[in-house]
Chain A
Amino acid sequence: MTREVTLKSLKEAVVNLDLEAVTKASREVILKEIPPMEAVKAIGAGLEVVGKKYEAKEYFLAELMMAGEAVKEAVKILQPAMKGIKVKAKGKVVIGTVRGDLHDIGKEVVVTLLSASGFDVEDLGADVATEAFVEATRKEKPNIVAMSALLTTSMHEMERVVKELEKAGLRRQVKVIIGGAPVDARFAKKIGADSCAEDAIQGVQLCNKWVSK
């Protein structure tokens, strides 16, 4: 197989959510000494197709999670070859589920997709205190702060984070994106966030748009 065929197989394996094929193609990348960053690009292209299929309601949450598994599988194989290669991340995202909320499945999907798209992601986990968001923003200097909430009772924590970022003089340095079942664009506007993602795919698209400007 030529290098192009291998990379195409890797992309298709991601699109088809075929873990065995992902493993096989990733191993071929190593065997053929294809630059791992080309493989990463192929995975990214595959994820783009997955995103389109999700938007077209051909793929659903289970498929997004499987795509995440496919990426993890490929990275596991490619990682040793990537050691020593300095890769400039597209941007940095600090992400977490807000205080009082322990739900992180949606956030996990976003983290996987952002990482696979070339973002450096600092995942603060679930039930994250406002102060932790502020501290991580100060320390990590991200381009984007992303917050998730599933509960109507916890979504108001997002407003607190935005306010505290403002108080700390950090708000202008970052874009703030929110997501989760109870939030919408109107709520984002009300609390002073920059945008609300309807789903993980849209969230990644928005982050890409912001860092490419």
Chain B
Amino acid sequence: MHFERVDHAPFCEFLGYWEETINRWYKEGLPTWITLSASGPSEFTGPGLCGSRSLSGVYAVADYFGLEKKVRLPIDFAPIPRFTNVVLEDTERYRIDIDEAGIKRKILKMGTTIPGYIEHPVKNAEDLRRIRERFDPKDPRRYPKNWSDEQIEYLRNLEVSVGLVFPGFFGQGRTFMGQRDFLLAFYKSPKLIHEIFEFWTNFLLETMEEVANAKVLDYVVYWEDMSYKNGPQISPRHFSEFMLPYYKRVSDWLRRKGIEIIMVDTDGDANPIMDQFLEGGVNCMFPLEVASYMDAVGLRKKYGKRLRVIGNIDKMAIAKGKTAIDRELDRKIPLVKEGGFIPCVDHNVSPDISLKNYSYYLQSLKKRLSVE
């Protein structure tokens, strides 16, 4: 990712697998001892990000497929103490509860669908003041129990990349307020948006202070998820006005701490706000969903080595089978030679991908990356 000579590009999945995918694969021959909930090879492997179920256990599946490992530090950016999980209604079809982030949600019992969010904890400045009490950056529970000089030394000597994922400004703002109220607040309560972002900047920097000083991080990831198929949810103008100043502060601080790779995780079409991300100090994007018009080759042409890219192998092509897989890899893999590109599936591996097609994809990718 530093555009240096390497023996091969990483052979990995950067996100993971949906539960439905693994359930499908069991029927197609995946051993049942491979589970998403299995713990990884190191105490430090884990989501490092509350609520991202697809990340947990990815290592167990990755081990089975011979994918290379990465370590994500499980530093806790969620409320401490958590909100008490209270079930408000429980029927045969669904459950309504308040989750640990204080969000009232409806969960259908059929399948494993994404919940419908009913109410969020922050509606105004007073709510923000109240919830801030749960975000003490110096609470020792934010760091792993075994965080010690010995562990720091261990991490420094690891031959795999060590990263940290934290909720970004949009990501956390939406968690606090809910998508609808958060988006409307850019117009209706701009002061509240700035208050949230100011608070979040300070919280992030103070929480990360210790790990940044430990000099173990190869990269950090802002989890934003702020785009969808038709583009970002807010305009580039609003990004510049509301988010950019805070991005600059955090990125400048990270660089001063020696962390060079600053990544953003956003699904969907982020093309209209790519300039803003770069201006904010970001130099790596993923997962670059092909169905949302994201194209690693085009981005490299436009931004050159200012931007590293991860992902961008079209999951829909993998679902289609050999010919489509080879066509997709033929087009994307030459970019690996330039450096700054880790090819992997452009989001979680989806349930329309058969085990046979996924195995073929990995085999074909491995060959092209010259992985021993």
Question: Which residues on A are within 8 Å of B, measured CB to CB?
Answer: 17, 19, 57-63, 65-66, 69, 100-105, 108, 126-127, 150-154, 181, 198-199
Contact = CB atoms under 8 A, between A and B. Distances in A.
A181 B233 contact: no
A173 B49 CA distance: 49
Contacts of B188: 19, 69
B113 A65 contact: no
A62 B20 contact: no
Contacts of B94: 127
B233 A61 contact: yes
Contacts of B234: 60-62
Given A60-B233, A61-B228, A127-B108, A66 B184 contact: yes
> Shortest 6 CB-CB distances between A and B: which pairs?
A102-B116, A62-B183, A61-B233, A199-B230, A60-B235, A62-B234
A164 to B, nearest CB: 18
A193 to B, nearest CB: 17
Contacts of B228: 61, 181
B232 interface: yes
A60 B114 CA distance: 24
Interface of B: 20, 94, 106, 108, 110-111, 113-116, 179-180, 183-184, 186-188, 228-235, 238, 272, 350-352
B113 A102 contact: yes
A60 B232 contact: yes
B289 to A, nearest CB: 10
29 contacts: A19-B188, A57-B231, A58-B235, A60-B233, A61-B228, A61-B230, A61-B231, A61-B232, A61-B233, A61-B234, A62-B186, A62-B234, A62-B235, A63-B235, A66-B184, A102-B106, A102-B114, A102-B115, A103-B114, A103-B116, A108-B180, A127-B108, A151-B113, A152-B351, A153-B113, A153-B351, A154-B113, A198-B230, A199-B230
Contacts of A127: 94, 108, 116
A127 B179 CA distance: 19
A62 B235 CA distance: 8
Interface-centre pick from A66, A127, A150, A153 (highest chain B CB count, 10 A)? A153
B180 A153 contact: no
Contact of A153 (B20, B186, B233): B20
Nearest to A97: B116
A103 B178 CA distance: 12
A60 B113 contact: no
Contacts of A58: 235
Given A19-B187, A58-B235, A127-B116, 11 more contacts: A61-B232, A62-B183, A62-B238, A69-B184, A102-B115, A104-B116, A105-B179, A150-B114, A151-B113, A151-B114, A181-B228
B235 A105 contact: no
A57 B237 CA distance: 11
A101 B113 contact: yes
From A65, A102, A199, residue with most partner B Cβ within 10 Å: A102
Given A57-B231, A127-B116, A102 B272 contact: no
Nearest to A183: B229
Given A60-B232, A105-B179, A153 B187 contact: no
Contacts of B231: 57, 60-61
